[in-house]
Structure 1
């Protein structure tokens, strides 16, 4: 028997005669000591915090946020209001706190994942995409609370936001930019992709695909949609293109890929013509003669 078990046994025997008062038995105490996850004060506080966040969302009227940063700011506000109740007690304990460690502690879990020939890898039941240059490589993945950092031979080669999954569906963290080049070679593959819906960067793109799929032939619909994704991803006009697609959908018109490229794709800058007049070499002799006379 280890030392802490012997000490626990002595303590249990010491209060055995008072079990009727404390409603505790040596076995139940040993069970609580053996299972460290039974931390009632922490788990209860966490549950109440989740309830308060849910109530704040109900008072807000909706659960839609512009991005992750907006949601984090909302949760931070709820936590700060909750912590104000304990501000005085925290100030008392703060004087006894030690300094923070000099170096940051390990706040991630490390796993391995292999990038398939489709340019995807799986971490904790979530499917992620990766650049095509990493196909076939085995990555060391550091799983943080909000992101994944992928390392190859000790070098950071890819970083992406962490996605979640539910018990009923597999999570996906897909970046459409990773598939543009392959889809340009085979645009018909767009229709049959298992994660096709995750390739739409904006809601306008999804609605545009539904209109293209309904009013155009399958070949032209896929080719046009892949061209729109290329325009949005490779030329950095995702937001502007989404606004234009919304306007076209309101008018009931289909997007013209050539016109959109002419409008949004960056044009080749015209280099100015620079004319350099070369001086006569005899001028250098004149300068040397003046220097000798001086």
Structure 2
């Protein structure tokens, strides 16, 4: 066999079998080649008694240049790659090394030198998990899941929380990038769903959450994160940048989680969901099934978790914005509509990962799904047509050239109706008809039904008309409930009850 030395026992067996068998057969029975057998037939000295000098069978092509040309470079910087050294000696000796034949030799020599003279390497110390001690948070990109909402690709990440001991996990959908808001909101959801808090919470370096922030903003988020973990009685720890194995419990879970999601999507038969909430429910049900198989370890860990505080803490970013005369306010370069009665008021806006909540003093006044602005291109407008419809009713012609006209339409059917009005009617009539339809949906609180009626009229080749649509709206039951006579009991009945109790 290659690279295996012949033993004395093999040679003795060969010499014994050689008396009764041919050379090939005896060699096979002894476990070596026929070529080796021919050498033993010439010299039957036992291997242990031979003075064999083993070494190179060919001359070392690097012997005279290793100390002179290569070793000084390695001593100066041991991170240099063998291919770099090869190109260097080829430039020095082009006729001697015209090709890459010595590449493997050079790689082997450099590898051996580093093993003897290179720097100390980092060691991974495997840990024994302790119940209730550590929970880990991380974000993972979900692009490879190919999730779509109503046919449109969903750009998102998954927030992933894992208890190291029991492997209990929680997953949240994060619509854009990593941020303190996304971490705080989803971590609180995980802790309250679990019913306790671990002693230590570990994250990565959180560099993505601090990207593009000023020094003051970074310091503010650092203080808020410290206050956050203190609220839950946890210690905060971070793994060193670039050392993903320090967060290994959750890093390994990312791959298992995505595999489970892909398999569940195969069983579901589609990667498309009607709404984002439906996708979130799908993930919640999947994670619940995965956690069910860890129930015994979870019950052990729950006994060691810290009790939750009486209430949640801040998991949003707050800004103050004034409502302008256009009946809206700006938050991170995105325009959000507000009721016109709030024009001129300063609102406190709580920015969550997927929504914004605006307050006038302590009174909640506006909610919107959150959108992200872009540094370039047109400004994004998030409009609730209920906020502007009364003003449009008084000035319908303002609809035609409004900068947020297309954002006013609550559904695609309304946008399609406006496109047809522009083609078939004058601008004046198109605006009046469109505003009339929007006002109908607002007044009758039947946005979905009006959208269905619009679609039916267009499919029939007719232009929608607010007056005709109103006739087809399902009439709401406005009848008063029947009077039910209520007989007041006599006060003496209560006296009887008191007597019986006595």
Higher mean Cα deviation, 113-122 or 161-170?
161-170
Higher mean Cα deviation, 73-82 or 84-93?
84-93
Corresponding residue for residue 281 of structure 1? none
Which of 257, 279, 288 aligns to 1:71? It is 279
Corresponding residue for residue 394 of structure 2? 185
Corresponding residue for residue 133 of structure 1? 341
Displacement after TM superposition at 1:108 (Å): 1.9
User: Does the CA-based 8 Å contact 1:116-1:135 persist in structure 2?
Assistant: yes
Corresponding residue for residue 22 of structure 1? 122
User: Does the CA-based 8 Å contact 1:147-1:160 persist in structure 2?
Assistant: yes
> Is 2:251 the partner of 1:44?
yes
Q: Give runs of aligned pairs for residues 247-258 of structure 1, distance below 5 A.
A: 247-258=456-467
Q: Distance in 2 between matches of 1:251 and 1:106?
A: 53
Q: Give runs of aligned pairs for residues 75-154 of structure 1, distance below 5 A.
A: 75-84=283-292, 86-154=294-362
User: Does the CA-based 8 Å contact 2:400-2:431 persist in structure 1?
Assistant: yes
User: Does the CA-based 8 Å contact 1:165-1:172 persist in structure 2?
Assistant: no
Q: Distance in 1 between matches of 2:343 and 2:252?
A: 44
Secondary structure class of the residue paired with 1:139: strand
Deviations 1:249-288 (A, max 9, x none): 1110012222223443979x799xxxxxxxxxxxxxxxxx
Corresponding residue for residue 218 of structure 1? 427
Q: CA RMSD in A?
A: 3.6
User: Does the CA-based 8 Å contact 1:57-1:63 persist in structure 2?
Assistant: no
> Is 2:414 the partner of 1:205?
yes
Question: Given the two structures, how large is their TM-score scaled by the length of structure 2?
Answer: 0.43
Corresponding residue for residue 158 of structure 1? 366
User: Does the CA-based 8 Å contact 2:328-2:337 persist in structure 1?
Assistant: yes
Corresponding residue for residue 451 of structure 2? 242
User: Does the CA-based 8 Å contact 2:355-2:369 persist in structure 1?
Assistant: yes
Q: Distance in 2 between matches of 1:225 and 1:104?
A: 45
Q: Distance in 2 between matches of 1:45 and 1:150?
A: 39
Deviations 1:50-75 (A, max 9, x none): 6765775576424231x343222122
Number of residue pairs the alignment of both structures matches: 246
Deviations 1:168-206 (A, max 9, x none): 765443211111111112212212122222212222111
> Which protein, 1 or 2, shows the higher relative CO under an 8 Å CA cutoff with sep ≥ 6?
2
Which of 428, 433, 439 aligns to 1:230? It is 439
Displacement after TM superposition at 1:107 (Å): 1.8
Displacement after TM superposition at 1:219 (Å): 1.0
Question: Given the two structures, how large is their TM-score scaled by the length of structure 1?
Answer: 0.70
Secondary structure class of the residue paired with 1:231: helix
Gaps of at least 5 residues in structure 2 are 1-118, 125-203, 208-237, 481-502
Q: Based on CA coordinates, which of the two structures has the bigger radius of gyration?
A: 2
Q: Distance in 2 between matches of 1:148 and 1:232?
A: 25
With over 3 angstroms needed to count, the CA separation of the structure-2 counterparts of 1:61 and 1:127, relative to structure 1, is same
User: Does the CA-based 8 Å contact 2:437-2:465 persist in structure 1?
Assistant: no
User: Does the CA-based 8 Å contact 1:235-1:265 persist in structure 2?
Assistant: no
Displacement after TM superposition at 1:23 (Å): 6.1
